[in-house]
Structure 1
Amino acid sequence: MSEQGYQPLTLRNAVAGHLGGGTPSRQVPSYWRGQIPWASVKDFPEQSRIIEDTEEHISTSGLNASASNLIPAGTPLVCTRMAVGRATMSSVPMAINQDVKALFPAPGVSSAYLLKLLQFIQPKAEAQAVGSTVKGIRTQDYLDIEAPIADTDAQPVIALVLNTLDTAIHETQAIIAKLKAVKLGLLHDLLTRGIDANGELRPPQSEAPDLYKKTDQGWIPLSWDVRPLSEYTSSEITYGIVQAGPHIPNGVPYIRTGDMSGDSLVREAMLCTSRRIAGSYTRSEVRTGDIVMAIRATVGKVLSVPSTLEGANLTQGTAKISPNASTDESFLLWAIRHSRSQRAIQLEVKGTTFAEITLGALRQVPIAAPVKINEQREIGKRLAAIDMQLQSEQQYLAKARAKKSGLMDDLLTGRVRVTPLLAEIAQQKGSA
C-alpha cells in the first residue's frame, strides 16, 4: 500500500560519528603485507553488502605509523573520493585509507539499514562530487545530503528484505562466473577434441596422438578438416545496404555493428529502411539461423539471426554467413568464435583507427570442423545448452537488480511501508 513517505532529513541524523583513514609509507616494507586488511576504493564493488578481504594488507606497525584506523567489523564504509558514494561494510576488522570514511550509526539506527541508506543516496553523492581529474566530496557535505530516515522498528525489516535480494544477486553472480568458466573450457575442448562415436570427448592429443593430425591450425581430430569459411556457406558471404536512408517506421530492419554489442540481436533497437531500398539488396537479406559478423569496428563479433529478424538486411559494416546443408549453423557460430578462428580473422584486419576486414579475406578464413554433420550438431547442441543456461542466469540477475532498485526506492523513502511485514513478524514471535 502506498503511503506518505518518511520525513526528509539529512544523513547526519542517522550518523553518530565518522572516522577517516590513511596510507602507511610505501618506503617502509615492514608496514605492508601484514595481517590487517586495508580497504581502498578498488575494494568497493558496486552495490555490495560485504567486503570479506582486500587487495592489500598492512602490519600493526604500519597501522600505528599512519593516519589509518582499524574499523570494527559491521561498520558501514563509504568512498568519498573517486567512486564517490559507493558504500559497503566489512565482515572483519579492517583498516581504511584516506579516500574512505567509516560511518557509525546513531542510536536507534541499525548498521545494516544505514548501509542501505548510503547506497540509496549514492547518486546524490556523485552529483555533489567536485574535482577536475579526481572527484571527491567533503565529509560535511556528504552528511548534509537529504535522506529519508525510517522508523526504528521498520529499519531491520527494510534491511532484511534488501539483504535477501542482495544474497540472491551475489549467488547468481557466482553461478554466472562458474558458468562462464565452464563454457570457456567446454568451448576449447569441443572445438579441439570433438566428440567420438560414443558421444564422449576424445582424449587430448597428448594422450592419444594417433587420433589427431597436425594442420596449419594446430592439432585436430583425424576425422576433421580445415577449409576456408566460404566452403561452409550456401551463398556468397556479403555485406549489405550502402545507404539505408532515413528511418522508416515499420520498414525493413537492418543490422549495424552497433546492434551487435550485446549477446543477441534485438529487433526493437534497430533502424529500418524502406522496402524499396531493401529490395535492391536481396543478396544480403538474412534468414533465421544465418550468422551475422561485424566486419568493421568490432571485427569478428558474430551473432545468430533470430526468427524475429527473418527478412531483415545488413549494412556495409556487417556480413551475412549462411551455413550450407553440410554445416550445422550452431557449430559454425561457435567455430568462428573460437580463439583459433578469431586469431586468423584478426591477422586480416586492416586499419588502426578504422579497423575492418575485406570480404575476400573473410571468405578465406580457415575453419576447422568435423567432416560429419552429426558431430557438428552434437558439439553445437552442447555449447548452445550451456549458453542458454548462462543467458537464463543473466536474465534473472538483471531482473533481481531491477527489483532491488525498485524496492530500495519504495522502502527507503517510505512510499511503501513495511507495516504488514512487521505485523507478520510480531505474530510469528507471539506464536513461538
Structure 2
Amino acid sequence: MDNALYDIPDSWKWVTLGDIGIVVSGGTPSTREPEFWNGDIPWITPADLSGYDEIYISEGARKITQIGLDYSSAYLLPENSVVFSSRAPIGYVAITKNKMATNQGFKNLILPSSLINCKYTYYYLKTIKKLAEQKASGTTFLELSAAKFKQIPIPLAPIEEQLRIVEKIDELVSYTNISIVNINQALENANLYLKKSIYQLFRGNLLQNGHRLKILPDGWKWKTLKDVGEIYNGGTPKTSVSEYWNGSIPWITPSDLSNYKEKYISKGQKNITELAIEKSSVKILPKETVLFSTRAPIGYVVIAKNELTTNQGFKSIVPNEKIDSSFLYYFLKSITEYANKIASGTTFLELSTEKFKEIPIPIPPIEEQVKIVVEIEQVLNNTDNLINELVIFPKNWII
C-alpha cells in the first residue's frame, strides 16, 4: 500500500478506513420544527465529547424523534459503531453503546464485527488526530471530508491479534488511570503540606520545634495592616482620552494576575502616561510595594519589581522599615479565605479599605521575618521539586 505509515508484521496489512467498514456522516434535523426534537433517539455533537473520558457513549445533551431522523440527513448508527469528529474540532473518538445518531460534525464507521474489533479501531483513531488534520481543508475551520476520511490508512491485524492488542491496551489504560489518581492525590497532599507549612510558620510553630502555640512567641506583636505601611487605592484613567494611554508607566489590573505565578511583577497589559496620573486618582507606587486584589477576585498578591500603578481593584501597601515586603507578601497569600469572608457586595464581593486596614497580622522582629521568608521559600522549593517529579498524564492519554 502506497500510504503505509510504518512497517507492520507479515500477517498484517495496510488498508483504509473505507476498506474496513461503512462510512456515514451525520446530520441535524431542522431546529425550527419542534416535532423533530425531544424524542427518544440519542443524538450527539462534538461538544458532547469535549472533556469526555469514556470509551463508550450512550447519549448526548439532546435527543431527536423518529420523524426528525426520517426528515434529515441524520443516520441511526448501530451499537459498536465508531464516531470520529471531523470538524470543530477534529479528533474526538467514541464508540456507540447503543443505537444513536450524530450531527454533521462526525464521520462514523459501521464495522463488521467478524473482521475488525471496534475498540481496536477506537484506539487506533485516537492516535491519528494530526494525520486527519493534515488531510482536512477549510478556511473558517478545518473539516475532514468523508472521502478523505475513507482514505486514512489503518494497519489491519488478524482478529485474534486485534483482541490481544485491545486487551493489552485496556490493561495499560487501567494502570495509567490508577497512576493518575495516585499522582493527583500526591499533588493535593503536596499543596496541603505547603499551605499548612506556611500557616504554621506565620504563627511561629515551626520556629518552636513544631509545637503549636496559643500565644505569639516572644518579640512578636499583633498589629493591623494599617500599622505596617501606607495603604493606597488604585484608579483608572478615562479610557476615552487617548492621551492617558500607551505611555511608559505600567498599570496593573487583577486580570494581569490571572494565572500569574511569579512573586514580582514589572508590568501589565497596559501602560499609562504621566498626564493620566495628573488627571486621575492613579498613584505611582514604589518598588517593593505589595499589591493585594480586593475584588474580581479577592486574593491575588504580588510585589512591585519597579515603579508602577494599579486600577481600583487593588489595595496596595508600601511597607515601613519594620516590615519585610516578602514577609507581608506571604502573609497576604495566606489570608485569601479570611479576606473573602469579611468582604461584601451583591454583584461581586469587594473588600473595603476600612476592613482591609483592620486585618490583623502577627509581626515578629525584622530579622525573624527574613528567617520565616527563607523557610517558606524552602518549603515552596521542596514542593515545586516534588510536583515536577510527578509526571501528569492527560486523562485521555493512550499509548
User: Normalised by the shorter chain, which TM-score bucket?
Assistant: 0.5 to 0.7
Between 1 and 2, higher relative CO (CA 8 Å, sep ≥ 6) is seen in 1
Q: Give the distance between the partners of 1:191 and 1:263, measured in 2 at CA.
A: 24
Q: Does 1:191 align with 2:195?
A: no
Match 1:260 to one of 257, 260, 277: 257
Q: Give the distance between the partners of 1:113 and 1:312, measured in 2 at CA.
A: 57
Q: Residues 350 and 357 of structure 1 are in contact (CA less than 8 Å); yes or no, is this contact kept in structure 2?
A: yes
Match 1:237 to one of 232, 244, 248: 232
Q: SS at the partner of 2:374? A: helix
Q: Give the distance between the partners of 1:284 and 1:398, measured in 2 at CA.
A: 43
Q: Does 1:114 align with 2:137?
A: no
Q: SS at the partner of 2:191? A: helix
Alpha-carbon shift at residue 295 of structure 1 (Å): 1.8
Shift in alpha-carbon separation, 1:181–1:118, aligned structure 2, 3 A: same
Q: Give the distance between the partners of 1:378 and 1:47, measured in 2 at CA.
A: 47
Q: Residues 14 and 105 of structure 1 are in contact (CA less than 8 Å); yes or no, is this contact kept in structure 2?
A: no
Alpha-carbon shift at residue 166 of structure 1 (Å): 8.5
Q: SS at the partner of 2:316? A: strand
Alpha-carbon shift at residue 350 of structure 1 (Å): 2.9
| Residue of structure 2 in register with 1:352 after alignment | 346
| Residue of structure 2 in register with 1:204 after alignment | 212
Alpha-carbon shift at residue 318 of structure 1 (Å): 1.7
Alpha-carbon shift at residue 316 of structure 1 (Å): 1.2
Q: Does 1:298 align with 2:309?
A: no
Shift in alpha-carbon separation, 1:383–1:105, aligned structure 2, 3 A: farther
| Residue of structure 1 in register with 2:323 after alignment | 327
| Residue of structure 2 in register with 1:285 after alignment | 285
Q: Give the distance between the partners of 2:176 and 2:222, measured in 1 at CA.
A: 49
Q: Residues 4 and 153 of structure 2 are in contact (CA less than 8 Å); yes or no, is this contact kept in structure 1?
A: no
Q: SS at the partner of 1:237? A: strand
Match 1:338 to one of 313, 334, 349: 334
Match 2:380 to one of 378, 387, 390: 387
Shift in alpha-carbon separation, 1:222–1:107, aligned structure 2, 3 A: farther
Q: Give the distance between the partners of 1:290 and 1:88, measured in 2 at CA.
A: 53
Q: Give the distance between the partners of 1:112 and 1:88, measured in 2 at CA.
A: 12
Taking only aligned residues, the RMSD between alpha carbons, in angstroms, comes to 5.5
Q: TM (normalized to structure 1)?
A: 0.50
Alpha-carbon shift at residue 292 of structure 1 (Å): 1.5
| Residue of structure 2 in register with 1:77 after alignment | 56
Match 1:373 to one of 366, 369, 375: 366
Gaps of 5+ in 2: 6-13, 24-48, 63-82, 85-91, 101-110, 133-145
| Residue of structure 2 in register with 1:150 after alignment | 154
- Whichever of the two has the greater Rg, that structure is 2
Q: Residues 250 and 309 of structure 2 are in contact (CA less than 8 Å); yes or no, is this contact kept in structure 1?
A: yes
Q: Deviations over 1:3-26 (max 9, x none)?
A: 9989874798499xxxxxxxxxxx
Q: Give the distance between the partners of 2:346 and 2:270, measured in 1 at CA.
A: 30
The number of equivalent residue pairs is 296
Gaps of 5+ in 1: 16-43, 50-75, 90-95, 125-142, 206-211, 214-219, 412-432
Match 1:317 to one of 313, 316, 321: 313
Shift in alpha-carbon separation, 1:188–1:353, aligned structure 2, 3 A: same
Shift in alpha-carbon separation, 1:4–1:383, aligned structure 2, 3 A: farther
Q: Give the distance between the partners of 1:342 and 1:106, measured in 2 at CA.
A: 59
Instruction: Work out the percentage of aligned pairs sharing the same amino acid.
Output: 14
What amino acid does structure 2 have at the position aligned with 1:320? Answer: S
